[in-house]
Homo-oligomer: A and B are copies of this chain.
Amino acid sequence: MVLKVHYFDAANRGEPIRLALAISGIKFEDVRIPREDWAAKKAANIYPMNQVPVLEFEDGTMVSQSGAILRYVGSLNPSAGLYPTDILQRLRVDEMLGIVTDVRGKIVPTMRMSDEAEKAAARKELTTTTLPFYFERIEKIMGEHKFSAGDNLTIADLDLVGVIDWLSSGVLDGIPADLVNGYPKLLNLRKLVHDIPAVALWKQKREVVSQ
């Protein structure tokens, strides 16, 4: 079975899925939709919710929703431990995935703001209040654990580090790229994830199977 992951040639909601597959040693077809093709793809209405990421199975069945896909691919190779089977451990992973989704949900609306003053104010609020609130709480939940949902790498870390990388890339006007530097546990987590051989290799190769 060759799985296909359909997403833009971007990180955001797609990259944690790709990384989970890479870490699990599962080959997949990395279908990257050029931004300029999205309008046509949307008009062609080929995706179940007209959104990506989408996971496509060999028989053409398609499933939407990044969180659902991430949990599924994180379950494909249980020995990789990316999505634990113990329900209490899984509760912690799901809690963190929910928190990361909330963080993303706070950032995304500011990307759609066309009024520059409104956008600057919203970004300032994110920088001074909202993101520090989440980062402090996440570090508190992490406690003495190295990873965001316990002592082992899980899909929650891939999702959380994805958001940290995004914020740290400096592409979001008005959000200082070094904002995360005040949070040592998050910095350490980012390093731990980037240092995973399969992650480093993936980031180096960015394997793209041509469409």
On chain B, the residues within 8 Å of A141 by CB distance are: 48
Q: Which residues of chain A from 83 to 122 have a CB within 8 Å of any chain B CB? A: 87-88, 90-92, 94-95, 97-99, 102, 105
On chain B, the residues within 8 Å of A64 by CB distance are: 95, 98-99
Total residues of chain A contacting the partner, CB 8 A: 30
- A144 CB to nearest chain B CB (Å): 15
Q: Is A12 an interface residue (CB 8 A)?
A: no
Task: Assess the A65–B105 pair: CB atoms within 8 A.
Answer: no
Q: Which residues of chain A from 133 to 186 have a CB within 8 Å of any chain B CB? A: 137, 140-141
Q: Is A63 an interface residue (CB 8 A)?
A: yes
Task: Assess the A67–B137 pair: CB atoms within 8 A.
Answer: no
Task: Assess the A75–B94 pair: CB atoms within 8 A.
Answer: no
- In Å, the complex CA distance between A139 and B146 comes to 43
Task: Assess the A91–B71 pair: CB atoms within 8 A.
Answer: yes
